[in-house]
Structure 1
Amino acid sequence: MSRLHVTNDYVLELNNVYHAGQMEASTCLEKMVGNSSVGVVLKDVSVEVHGGELMAVLGSKGSGKKTLLDVIARRAQGPTRGQILLNGVPMSMRLFQDSCAYVGRKCHLLEGLTTKQTLYYAAHLTIGSKVSSYVKSTRVKQVMADLALVHVANHGVHFLNQSEYRRLAIGIQLLRDPVVILLDEPTSDLDPLHTYMVVSILSNHAKKYNRIVVLSTEKPRSDIFPFLDRVTYLCLGDVVYTGATRMMLDYFRHLGFPCPELENPLMFYLCLSTVDRRSQERFLESSNQIAALVDKFRLDGRPFRKCAVSYADHVMETEHRLPLTAYGRPTTTQVLTNLMSREWAVLWNCGSPIGRSHFFLRLLLLPVFFFLLWIFYYDLPLNQQSYASRNGLLYSCLAGTMFLSVASTVAVHPALRTRYYQESRDGFYFGPSFILARSLASLPLSVMTVAAASAIIYFGMPISTNPFQYLLFGSTLWAVHYFMEQQTMALLMLVKSSFNAALTSLFLGIVYLNVGSAMVRAIPGLPDYLYYLTYVTQSRYAAAVLNEQHFRNFSSLPSVLNATLSIPCPSGTTFSNYGCRYSNGTHYLMERYHLTHPPYDDDLRFWLNFGLNFLFTGAMFFANIILHIVPLPAFVKSKFRG
């Protein structure tokens, strides 16, 4: 593996780089089969930038600015030719992730955290284990000071204005002190004052720490001109000019294109490098002029590209320190711990509306629903109707656990998922670590909410006071709750819309209940193909456990409606007119399940069903791990990264 030689002088070089990529939007089918139309996006690009310099990549929309940054970061899809070197070492994805950083135009941060918390967890996720916690905390304070974020340190991310949010996104990458930082349109949609502020901060960072900063922009303002040490003008993938900003004026003046007085030179030469499409004549004229400029720079531009800016005016201020990226990455255990802590920090941040909503959804929603069930089912008479009522109660508990698990997951997981896609692309951690940390963080929360909800039903109604039965009841519902959570997370991995993912997961849950639970339709009445289909639904086993626990005496566990307890049919009542349908709990279960009726086996094997219920939960968890290991198509992942 190539490693960067740590030095006081850093040089990023691109030599004769060509890149072919997608030229126009493709249909979903074309993306899946890899039949998208491609063309040359970058043509013979040669660029050089040194430590302590800020370089701006300028060009109109479609000129190749973002593609150039993606090629340097080894993120671009499609074939690339040419050399990309950092201190003479070929740039690989691993080298870029270890020593460099990329700030995209869109960055989605976790809204339940404060500015300081966001940087704190980012520091512990990105800075190596050899660096002490004190140094990491000091680094967080330093970055907040450098980016003028100290005054909003304790403000929630969702309360930040656009400029503060953008600077915080930059700060996450600056924490580990990368040698090279690439920024795609960092000043887009910012007002002039904040544009000036962001560019000046980046320029100061480059000079103070001797780092390389490369940013792209489409509409450069004149007031940022003094901060740009180098500029690169692109037009449809061709380099019109790249080199020192101060020499740019002399170069174009020599070619017969002097910048008018009081004109913004950055915009003037950007217009010169843009094809004029207002008419066919102007299109041909501007295209020919740009082609001539490109050919001229290829012949005579090498001295400008190689020319380095003198930094004698700030050399004494430069800190030639060892970058924190040289200390490696945190261990897997540290990554898992910090991902879990970050998720819990959002939950327990009761001062934030996001934190309060997460707290209610993940801990209180299910108990509230079960409390409503308790109110509705509290006074159950002991008669023939008790069987149907108790079946309805168990069905409501099972369905409510499934559906509310889906609801809480789609409300919480999408933000974590989007952050994962962005952080995994930066190499902070990868799929298995994310889903493992996510599952471990959710485990105690799901146990608490299901335990509280089950206690309301079990101890608040005349069912049983046996703690062991309560444990069986609660653990059965917990396995269902966790299964649906894992299933929904798997769907959200592929489907960006929370609403669509929720509908899909709920639809599957309804199928599980209607086909396999025997609470809506008796299993003996199912056609053979549906009967055997029930074997692959978790609800078959969970419902069988609940039904057997509450309607039949098994082992030595007591039950209210069991084989030894008969329900009388009093005369002179509507029940006597209807007839005594069930003499006891076992009689009721015989209508719902196969009980030693060949060719079918006994459907009610309590401990087997209990174990299979948990097996489904474990299988879904491991399937989720595998889904996060298998590479996904780029067009799927790009939906979540912005």
Structure 2
Amino acid sequence: MESGHTSNELHLEKRDVVDLELNRVHSAHLINNVVHDFSWKNLNVKVKDRKTMKPLSILTDSNGFVEAGEMIAIMGPSGSGKTTLLNALAHREAAAGATTNGDIMANGQQMSLKKIRQLSSYVEQEDALIGSLTVRETMMFAAGLGLSSKISKRDRQVRIDDLIASFGLQDQAHTIVGTPIKKGLSGGQKKRLGVASRLVTDPKILFLDEPTSGLDSTLSFEVMNFIRTIAKRNKLIVVASIHQPSSSTFKLFDKLCLLSKGKMCYFGPLPEAHGYFQSIGYPMPPETNPAEFYLDLINTDLAKAGDEVFERIGQITQAWSENSQNQRLIEEIDIISRRVEDTDRDLSKFKVEMPAPWVVPMVLLQRSWIKSYRDIVTYGIRVIMYLGLAILMGTVFLRLKSNQEYIQPFINSIFFGSAFISFMAVAYVPAFLEDRATFAKERANGLVGPFAFVISNFIIGLPFLFLISALFSLVTYFLSNFRMNGNAFFMYTMWLFLDLLAAESLVVLVSAIFPVFVVSLAVTAFANGLWMCVDGFLVPMNILNPFWKYVFHYIDYQSYVFQGMMVNQFKASTYTCDSTGSGYHCSYPSDLNSEGKIDGKDVLSAFSISPGKENEWIGIMLAIIAVYRVFGYVVFHFKKN
């Protein structure tokens, strides 16, 4: 018997209680029986061997057949091809650079990527749940992304309520999923919610990648039992990769697909596996967890070259390929494929009503809005960070005066405000990568496209970035004593807003290309460092190296912000020179030097900045922002993960 596991009797007693509760739930609004069976034949996946550069098979001649209402467990040791097979069946990239060949069918008909997305949902090992949403909100937004706009609000709500009840989440309906800062659901509840949020879109086939990972035996049983009950009642096909389940969880499955080194070791009804392995000379000892026995039999993790385990696995895979049970499986798949003409099995007539094109961006906007104000990591921390930066800047450059000795501090303050507010936009990287991961998983299920994601992401950021710019301006502008003019204040705020918008757009583009936190952070920081170097402050334009000037300066959004803010401060300002015994000492040549003053326009001339081009600079800033966002969309369009 396995140690540390709850007894089967207790599990079965718990299952009875759960089933009684589920029977009270009205499920007419759940899944209709459209797919009668799901099968695959001679499925092969090959990659290029890194050493020899020749094709290497990582999945060989896999066959399988599952009927509606059945759950199949794909099992095997690490590296056996479980996830490869699952991804291949779901028409996902089986492995990096892999080529997949073979037949994948539902009701005996070949499945295209479009059709499999219409018929199925895929629940990944790492859930795509948004931590700041409640259980009900998660279900509501999942329904909004996947259900037809023709379904009434009442029917949609009934479906959501049914699934929440079916998965035992009634008491947690208004509980948030959980963030690093605020605790929410338990691990088992998150797993159940992840599956429920996929079922709300009415899939006929459910793919589960390691649905019990990170859960103890009790929670694993609980999650799989809920799924099993839903599958049986609604004739749902469940295909799950699973690693070393407890005996009670293992017995919930109807069929077993056993793999080792990408080759089939067994496929068939779970109860018959014991007799099959006994027939080929591998009887299972009494009081043994069957799952552990099968995995130990074909596990090569600790084996060394020449060990008998490799010979044993070779015998097992060879025995299965020659076994009559395998031949009957292939014949059964062939028979099913010849029944395509049956009207009730013709999936070409099955059409899935999707939401209207304008609905998905609206759902994403609403979801992002809730996340933005509720999750402090998204914008809350950035607001606090920028306020701290504003107080720092305002108190360092405190109450600057109109004497010439304050001209350079004014310029330094302008550079600091424009450069560092954009540099600190790197704080948006983790929040965007979380959104990107959610998008990638929803896109793989055919729910969200790159255009809707990019548009909603851009729009939702506008009010928060403007709020940050306004708060920053309110603190720094008056503390530093910039030009006291209402129009000048609003122009200062506008330049900061465009600066932040361009910086965040850069984050989106870089994170789209490099979806790894450290890499994205480093590249974004490097880019902003480059823009700081060539924006015209550290090295004035008239002496800037031509390479940096003509290659980078004119596409540097920070340069236009710096110029715009310089004009905003100096175009209508004058500064007094130092008085000496013989006259005046002025640090900038100006027509007003004889009067002991410096015209602010002459300060601009020293930096090769010409007033009157503000509208042109605003247009260029908007173009840069648009280019970043369009390039981000292009990356998402062509990059599938």
Distance in 1 between residues matched to 2:151 and 2:87, nearest whole Å:
30
1:533-561 deviation line (CA, Å, top 9, x unaligned): 42222222222222122212xxxxxx2x1
Cα distance in 2 for partners of 1:10, 1:162 equals: 33
**1:610 matched residue in structure 2:** 618
Q: Distance in 1 between matches of 2:297 and 2:575?
A: 94
Q: Does 1:68 align with 2:85?
A: yes
Does residue 397 (structure 1) correspond to residue 417 (structure 2)? The answer is: yes
CA contact (8 A) 2:250 2:291 kept: yes
Is the aligned partner of 1:90 residue 2:110?
A: yes
Bigger shift: 239-248 or 120-129? Answer: 239-248
How many Å separate the matches in 2 of 1:247 and 1:527? 77
Letter in 1 for 2:78: K
The answer to whether the aligner puts 1:222 opposite 2:247 as a matched pair is yes
CA distance, structure 2, for counterparts of residue 619 and residue 111 of structure 1: 31
Hey, what's the Cα distance between the residues in 2 that align with 1:430 and 1:255? 50
Deviates more, 1:438-447 or 1:138-147: 138-147
How do residues 391-430 of structure 1 correspond to structure 2 at under 5 angstroms? 391-407=411-427, 409-430=428-449
Which residue is equivalent to 1:331?
Answer: 356
Q: Secondary structure at the match of 1:233?
A: strand
Distance in 2 between residues matched to 1:438 and 1:474, nearest whole Å: 22
The corresponding residue for 1:591 is: 606
Question: 1:370 Cα shift?
Answer: 2.5
CA distance in 2, matches of 1:150, 1:171: 12
**CA distance 1:58–1:540, shift in 2 (3 Å):** closer
Q: Cα gap change, 1:249/1:609 in structure 2, threshold over 3 Å: closer, same or farther? A: closer
The question of 1:494 aligning with 2:513 is answered: yes
Q: Distance in 2 between matches of 1:273 and 1:544?
A: 69
1:202 matched residue in structure 2: 227
For 1:505 and 1:225, the matched residues in 2 are separated by: 47
What SS does the aligned partner of 1:49 have? Answer: strand
Hey, what does 2:45 align to over in structure 1? Answer: 19
d(CA) in 2 for partners of 1:509, 1:288:
57
Cα deviation, residue 86, structure 1: 0.6
Identity of aligned residues (%): 22
**CA distance in structure 2 between the aligned counterparts of 1:224 and 1:607, rounded to whole angstroms:** 67
Question: What residue number does 1:315 align with?
Answer: none
Match of 1:213 among 228, 234, 238: 238
Letter in 2 for 1:56: A
Residue 220 of structure 1: how far off its partner (Å): 3.1
Return the offset for 1:457. Answer: 3.8
- 2:562: which partner in 1? 543
Q: 1:283 aligns with which of 304, 309, 330?
A: 309
The answer to whether the 8 A contact 1:364-1:449 is kept is: no
Partner of residue 624 from structure 1, selected from 606, 617, 632: 632
Alpha-carbon deviations, 1:32-62, whole Å to 9, x = none? Answer: xxx9664122222221100011111222222
Could you tell me which residue of structure 2 aligns to residue 452 of structure 1? 471
- Give unmatched runs, 5+ long, in structure 2: 1-30, 334-346, 591-597
- Displacement of 1:502: 2.8
What is the Cα deviation at residue 279 of structure 1? Answer: 7.3
Which shifted more, 474-483 or 58-67? 58-67
Please state how far the C-alpha of 1:104 moved relative to its aligned partner.
1.8
Alpha-carbon distance, 1:284 to partner: 5.2
Which residue identity lines up with residue 67 of structure 1 in the other structure?
Answer: T
Does the residue aligned with 1:570 lie in a helix, a strand or coil?
strand
- Give, in whole Å, the separation in 1 of the partners of 2:540 and 2:369: 42
Amino acid at match of 2:411: N
- Per-residue deviation, 1:576: 5.5
Contact persistence 1:569–1:580 (CA under 8 A): no
Whether the 8 Å contact between 1:366 and 1:400 is mirrored in structure 2 is no
- Report the CA distance shift for 1:143/1:326 in structure 2 as closer, same or farther (over 3 A): farther
Aligned equivalent of 1:476: 495
1:247 aligns with 2:272: yes
Partner of 2:548: 530
Indicate conservation of the 8 Å contact 1:243/1:305, yes or no. no
Q: Residue 263 in 1 paired to residue 304 in 2? A: no
Partners of 2:439 and 2:54 in 1: CA distance = 30
Is the contact made by 1:458 and 1:470 (CA closer than 8 Å) also made in structure 2?
yes
User: Within 2, Cα distance between the matches of 1:285 and 1:502?
Assistant: 49
TM-score (norm: length of structure 1): 0.82
- The answer for unaligned runs of 5 or more in structure 1 is 309-321, 350-354, 553-558, 595-601, 638-642
Equivalent position of 1:570 in the other structure: 579
Deviation per CA, 1:217-275: give whole Å up to 9, x if none.
23132213442211122222332322222333444444454444333334334444456
Query: How far apart are the structure 2 equivalents of 1:17 and 1:529?
Result: 55
C-alpha distance 270-624 of structure 1, shift in aligned 2 (>3 A): closer
C-alpha distance 578-476 of structure 1, shift in aligned 2 (>3 A): closer
More displaced, 398-407 or 338-347?
A: 398-407
- The answer to whether the 8 A contact 1:98-1:328 is kept is no
Q: Is the 8 A contact 2:532 2:558 kept in 1?
A: yes
1:327: Cα distance to partner?
Answer: 4.5
* Distance (Å, rounded) in 2 between the aligned partners of 1:488 and 1:103: 28
SS in 2 for 1:590: helix
Question: What CA distance in whole angstroms lies between the structure 1 residues aligned with 2:331 and 2:217?
Answer: 32
Per-residue deviation, 1:348: 2.4
What secondary structure, in the 3-state scheme, does the structure 1 residue paired with 2:579 have? Answer: coil
Deviation at 1:478, TM superposition (A): 1.3
User: Structure 1 residues 54-63 or 206-215, which shifts more?
Assistant: 54-63
Could you list the per-position Cα deviations for residues 574-626 of structure 1 after superposition, in whole angstroms to 9, with x for gaps in the alignment? x96786766221222221116xxxxxxx6863332332233222222222222
Deviations 1:393-413 (A, max 9, x none): 211221232123332x12421
Which of 102, 107, 110 is equivalent to 2:127? 107
Kept in 2: contact 1:384–1:581 (CA 8 A): no
Give CA deviations for 1:141-169 in whole Å, capped at 9, x if unaligned.
22222222223333332233322222222
1:585 maps to amino acid: G
**Aligned counterparts of 1:549 and 1:279: Cα–Cα separation in 2:** 74
Instruction: Give how far 1:200 is off.
Output: 1.3
Task: Give the whole-Å Cα distance in 2 for the aligned partners of 1:273 and 1:123.
Answer: 42
After superposition, give the CA deviation of every residue in 1:357-390 in whole Å (9 maximum; x if it has no partner): 4342344443443243333334222211131121
Q: CA deviation at 1:300?
A: 4.0
2-structure distance, mates of 1:461, 1:240 = 75
Give the aligned length: 579
Change (3 A) 1:305 1:265: farther
Which stretch of structure 1 is more off in the superposition, 416-425 or 535-544?
A: 535-544
Q: 1:384 aligns with which of 404, 407, 424?
A: 404
Deviation at 1:424, TM superposition (A): 1.4
Give the residue type in structure 2 aligned to 1:611.
Answer: G
Q: Distance in 2 between matches of 1:204 and 1:393?
A: 65
| Aligned twin of 2:262 | 237
Which whole-Å CA distance do the structure 1 matches of 2:422 and 2:35 have between them? 59
For residues 579 and 370 of structure 1, the distance between their equivalents in structure 2, rounded to whole angstroms, comes to: 29
Change (3 A) 1:388 1:183: same
8 A contact 1:544–1:604 mirrored in 2: no
CA shift in 2, pair 1:446/1:196, >3 Å:
same
2:176 counterpart letter in structure 1:
G
Give the direction of change, closer, same or farther, for the CA distance of 1:487–1:359 in structure 2 (3 Å limit): closer
